[in-house]
Amino acid sequence: MTLDRIWNGWRAQYVNESGGRVPGEEGSLFTQILSCGLDDEETHIIHRGPLVFVILNAFPYTSGHLMVLPYREISDLEDLTVDEATELWATVTEAVVAVKAAYRPGGVNVGINLGRAAGGSISEHLHVHVVPRWSGDGNFMTSVAEARTLPEPLSHSAAKLRGAWRR
């Protein structure tokens, strides 16, 4: 059995150069989004709780790719307060329910990349990925054309997920 590697070179510039920060701005990209003054529709924030929020991934692996984050900029699970951890995991569950209702996927990936070496492109601000998945949803476009094929714009994904979110 051989293991083939497919390189996603299109992400190298984003990961290596920006580190998830806008030059000249303070805090992580997520902190900057929270403080930018734009409304939730413009920033694709899906849900706000007392201690955590949910936002669409601007570079999604597939439509409906969400991230659940504490408002507080921390990098490690062990830095969460008990209340933050409780709300974070409850909100991850709510996000999975919303993704299932909005997209009817065959499965859902839930994951965290802790630290840059683990694949965390914005490693200074803890975030949990919730990604709907379907059998056969990987394709050659990313590796051949350096492009993702997404069937809907982020604004449509946000509207679907807001509509599916339990209030």
Q: What is the pLDDT along the chain (167 residues), one digit of tens a residue?
A: 444 444 444 444 444 444 454 555 678 889 999 999 999 999 999 999 999 999 999 888 888 999 999 999 999 999 999 999 999 999 999 999 999 999 999 999 999 988 887 776 788 889 999 999 988 665 444 444 445 556 688 888 999 999 999 86
Q: So what's the pLDDT on residue 60? A: 84
Q: So what's the pLDDT on residue 61? A: 82
Q: So what's the pLDDT on residue 34? A: 92
What is the layout of strands, in order, in the sheet containing 45-48?
A: 45-48, 52-56, 66-70, 128-133, 107-111
> What pTM was estimated for this model as a whole?
0.78
Catalytic residues: 127
**Residue 14 has what DSSP assignment?**
I
Distance of CA 66 to the CA centre of its chain: 4
Task: Determine the topology of domain 27-164 in CATH.
Answer: HIT family, subunit A (3.30.428)
At which residue do the structure tokens 């069937």 appear?
A: 151
Instruction: Show contacts of 103-110: CB within 8 Å, 24+ apart.
Output: 103/63, 103/64, 103/132, 103/160, 105/64, 105/132, 105/133, 105/134, 106/133, 106/134, 106/135, 107/132, 107/133, 107/134, 108/132, 108/133, 109/133
Q: So what's the pLDDT on residue 23? A: 55
Q: So what's the pLDDT on residue 141? A: 42
CA dist 75 and 99 (Å) reads: 25
Compute φ and ψ for 17, nearest 5 degrees. -90, -45
The secondary element (H helix, E strand) that includes residue 66 is: strand 66-70
CA dist 93 and 52 (Å) reads: 13
Q: Which two tokens stand for residue 92?
A: 């991850």
User: Domain residue spans in the chain?
Assistant: 27-164
Q: How far is CA 14 from CA 45, 48, 99, 106, 152, in A?
A: 21, 26, 26, 30, 22
Q: So what's the pLDDT on residue 138? A: 59
CA dist 50 and 167 (Å) reads: 14
